[in-house]
Structure 1
Amino acid sequence: MQRSQRIINAPIKFSPSQPHLYSQENCLLRFEDNNELLIVKCSSINSIVDDRGILGARAKRRYAVIEAKDEIDDRQSDDDLNDSDARNDMPKQSLSTVRKRKLSASVVQQMDENLDIDSLSIESGVFTKKRRRSLENLMHSNVSPNACDKENQTLEARVVYQTIDDMNRIILQNLEKKFAMFSKKLNQLIPNAVHQHLDSYREKDESFPSKLMYEGQNLLEIRGRDIYDYGRKILKTLYTSQELGSCILPPARNHLARPALDPVRFNIFHEAVRIKYKLSFLHYDNCYTKLIRPRMCDFLIDERKRQSKAAKQQAISDREQDIRND
């Protein structure tokens, strides 16, 4: 498929010698901040609402009243344009009559506040493109001051409600994160603070046996500083040091490389701890999950570290002994 040859248009060059290429319409502006009079091209004005114009943007935005609007008579010859004396003379203008102001100062000030809200839209994300367009349409529309006030109030109310909703959502998300972190830290501190006496896991009317035998030894006669020290001693009694250094707590998990400890003997561990400290059968699972299991996991990790360190020290001592014998 052959495409037609692209038509290339020559760029249009604007210059003072070709005044017909650009608009000759000028405006006489009186700025509201300092009552300064200035003649500018209408193309330099950002927006015109009735007899008011807006120049600049953001912090440099200025408001002015259009006192007159007309075209400059540029019927001067090229010789007059090149003459230095003619440059100093102002061109003659036929100024039209001054238009009456249709918008009150309060409406313009309220429009300025709405435009300032647009600068906050980048940070809060409240304004959408449609709402920003509605502000621009409001500036360019020929409506009465009362209608502008009502629309501005409605728009401001929507912005306030949307801002409140966004802030509430952000606050709730942050509170959920903080609460999750607080709960995690609280569970770590529970063994030393809230449930140190284990009263919440006991029942008054429950009875317990006085003996729990394992290989001719009563496990209830083993003494420990607290429930955690007693649990460590029971594990050392039920399992060998090799098993404690190479296994994890039951139940076994297929995705883990280490095997679990023997579950039959681990049930004896549960019974020994529960009977020794008179914990209720109904509440023992919760006690084991929150209090006992984390400490027993740390015990197995420390046991592996101790065995690894002892093996390294034994290897170093064997090397030194071999060197001495040689």
Structure 2
Amino acid sequence: MATTADIARDKRVQNPRKIFSPSETSQPSPSNYLIYMSDTMSYSIVGRSSIKKIHGKKATLIFNKKMFTGEILFAGTFPRCQVELNKIQQTSQSYENNETVSINEEDQNDIDDYNKKQGDIFIETDDDNDEEDEELFNRFDESEDDLLGNESFGKKRKSTCSNSITKDCRQAKRKKQENLNENKSLKSIENKMNDLSKNMLKMNNAIRQIASSTRTGSHNLDCYRDPNNQEIFPSTVEYNGQNLLEIVGKDFGDYARQLMRVLYTNDELQSSILPPGRRHLVRKPLDFDRFVRLNESVRVKYRLASHMYDDFFKYHLGPKLSDFLVEERRREANKNARKQAKLALSLMVNEQSTN
């Protein structure tokens, strides 16, 4: 059996450590770039964050979700890019001035002659363009911490305009919402007031019905009397030479029943209903003129106000009179039934006595 001492093992090869270092020292990337945009033919100072890709001297930019390509003219800090931009603009202006001054005298004379002939065309030159440009550049230098170029300045102007528009829209929406809330609250208040008035009428009617169901005496009729009323009630209400106010009753209900027996016959009470009548009903109403005389007698006898008598009749007197007519119809039938019962009893007694 082989032991561990008999096994020969090779030693592990140890490779020397290699230290890797960059061939070129890393330098911080510039923060701003001066770029010439061929599409818009303009110069712009752009921050590093606005550049998507850089290929040599070409840079790819994104403004307002649009992609542009431009040529990098200078890279460095914002003030250095500003200085380079001023130089480029000054050289371009001087070049344009040199081109205008380099016109020959002969051509100038021809132009003067042409202007004299036309008489209407004239040329104005501004000598203060350089001073205005320098003022604009100085203003641009003062705001270097806030602006990153012409495009960023335009963005900020758009953002301020959009912010003002959104504020106006929000204020208008708030005013509309407030007006809607006020209208809703007013409508809810009106609905609640209407519901309250309806409930008050229902409660008033219920109270009057409860009062009519109980025994009503003259002291409970005060709600239908007007203390401020200066009406002079007559002392007589006549019908066929009889003063109806002299008829005696226990209360207004008994008094009204006594008046019904005086004003109408038994046949009329058994076959009629209270006025006014209805077309779909078989029974005819009582005579209206005599019924008016009955109401006038009750009102005068109990000193009731004329403008409150309708409610009194509706909740107190009307139900009692309708019940009285129903009892009059039943009274005749009950009388006949009692007569027949008496006849039957008398016949039975006579048969038993004969037997």
Give the TM-score normalised by structure 1.
Answer: 0.41
Computing the radius of gyration over CA atoms, which structure comes out larger, 1 or 2? 2
Q: Which has the higher helix share?
A: 2
Give the TM-score normalised by structure 2.
Answer: 0.38
